[in-house]
Amino acid sequence: MLKVLKVLKVAVHIVWAIAVISFATLVGASYGWAHHGWIGAVALGTVGFCAGALLATDLSVLLEFLVRVSDAATGEPGRIRTRRTGRDFHAHSPPTMLAKRGTKQVEGRTRADR
């Protein structure tokens, strides 16, 4: 049973790696083609391939990257605003719903005003 799980894990990792590397290469090549011609497509496709290979090594690298991008987009480290509810969730700790009003951010953590 353990051997089957190991084989399944390796198979999923291979599919994950192929998908991420292919997507990153496609994005790089299409952006390069649209803005810089065929030389840009080759150059940015290569950059996309390298970035995809880096992201394919470990899923946590990709998740950390997405958290940092969301931090940069919102301007507030550690917060992600959901579209459906409009509520804030803290990204660096177990998901805890924060009140819409009366929260302060203190040293990377939030606490409610009393």
pLDDT tens digits, 60-114: 777 787 788 877 777 766 555 555 555 555 554 444 444 444 555 555 555 554 4
How far apart CA 65 and CA 43 sit, in angstroms, is 23
Higher pLDDT, 81 or 33: 33
Name residue 67's amino acid: V
The domain spans of the chain are 1-57, 59-114
Distances (CA, A) of 43 to 6, 9, 26, 77: 37, 33, 12, 33
The verdict on pTM exceeding 0.85 is no
Q: Average pLDDT in the 18-35 region? A: 95
Amino acid identity, position 17: A
